[in-house]
């Protein structure tokens, strides 16, 4: 599940990246209002972690622009200013939650998970397709009652497909889920990971399989007996 972290503190960004990766998220980073605005116009994110004090303006302008164009992506605002008036301003601009610096990384992860559950991005149950089970909250995968360990991008791919099992998922949607801004992608990058996950499912005895719908995308469905 990919997040956009908008933060200009060079010391804080690597720590956030490690914490979020450990929690099962992947991260794109923007350090200014301009970069954040471009990322949000060209990328798709499950949530945004947004510092309000940016070098070229207020993060409030970012969230206001999102809401003006009806982008409802959840936003957690970060700020060193903890006064009630500042929190109210952030929420009034369209932020969904507010966290005052300094904060415990565990609290940020917990707030993100709670926010994503409320928005429907994380559900409180295991998603199943055939004998494949995926827990969006813990990122655990079970196939034929046996835990299976997948790589980070294999997990991302399974996530986007199993949430929509039985439906076609476009290649563009898969690409946005798997790769971040600045990733050096080959022309067949998506196909490589689809092949890898398809092989992993088959090796583990999955009754679910990834079907390529030529010209449209991919679909996870239950293999016919």
Mind listing the pLDDT tens digit for each residue in 120-144?
666 557 889 999 999 877 789 999 9
Same domain (yes/no): 136, 203: yes
What range defines the domain where residue 187 resides? Answer: 127-222
Tell me if 87 sits within 8 A of 115, measured CB to CB: no
* Dist CA 168 CA 213 (whole Å): 7
Domain identity same for 173 and 77: no
Residues 7, 103, single domain; the answer is: yes
The full length of the chain comes to 225
Least confident of 38-42, 173-177, 202-206: 173-177
pLDDT by residue (tens digit) across 47-87? 999 998 899 999 999 999 999 988 888 999 988 776 677 77
* Average pLDDT over all residues of the chain: 87
Least Cα distance to 216 among 142, 164, 181, 139 occurs for 164
Longest C-alpha distance within the chain, in Å?
Answer: 62
Local structure of residue 167 (DSSP, 8 states): S
User: Do residue 14 and residue 76 come from a single domain?
Assistant: yes
CATH number (domain holding residue 22): 3.40.50.2300
Task: Read off the pLDDT of each residue in 16-32 and give the average, rounded to a whole number.
Answer: 87
Into how many domains does the chain fold?
2
From 119, 153, 188, give the residue that closes a domain: 119
Pair (141, 72) in one structural domain: no
| Strand partners for 135 | 140
End position of a domain, from candidates 98, 119, 140: 119
135 and 191 in a common domain: yes
Q: What is the mean pLDDT of residues 182-193?
A: 78
pLDDT, residue 120, reads 66
Residues 115 and 132 in one domain: no
Same-domain pairing of 112 and 132: no
pLDDT score of 128: 92
> Is this prediction's pTM over 0.75?
no
Residues 73, 179, single domain; the answer is: no
pLDDT in the model for residue 4: 93
Residues 142 and 196 in one domain: yes
Residues 77 and 32 in one domain: yes
- Return the CATH number at 183: 1.10.10.10
């Amino acid at each position: 599940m990919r997040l956009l972290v908008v933060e200009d503190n060079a010391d804080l960004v690597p720590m956030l990246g490690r914490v979020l990766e450990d929690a099962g998220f992947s991260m794109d980073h923007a350090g200014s209002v301009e970069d954040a605005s471009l990322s949000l116009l060209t990328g798709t994110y499950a949530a945004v972690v947004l510092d309000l004090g940016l070098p070229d303006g207020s993060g409030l302008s970012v969230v206001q622009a999102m809401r003006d164009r009806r982008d409802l992506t959840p936003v957690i605002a970060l700020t060193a200013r903890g006064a009630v008036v500042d929190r109210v301003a952030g929420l009034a601009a369209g932020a969904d939650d507010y966290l005052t610096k300094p904060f415990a990384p565990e609290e940020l992860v917990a707030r993100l998970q709670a926010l994503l559950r409320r928005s429907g991005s994380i559900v409180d149950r295991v998603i199943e397709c055939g004998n494949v089970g995926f827990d969006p909250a813990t990122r655990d995968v079970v196939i034929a009652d046996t835990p299976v360990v997948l790589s980070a991008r294999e997990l991302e791919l399974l996530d986007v497909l199993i949430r929509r099992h039985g439906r076609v998922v476009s290649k563009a949607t898969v690409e946005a889920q798997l790769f971040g801004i600045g990733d050096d992608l080959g022309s067949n990058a998506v196909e490589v990971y689809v092949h890898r996950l398809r092989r992993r499912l088959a090796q583990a005895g999955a009754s679910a399989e990834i079907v390529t719908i030529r010209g449209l995308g991919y679909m996870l469905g239950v293999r016919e007996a």
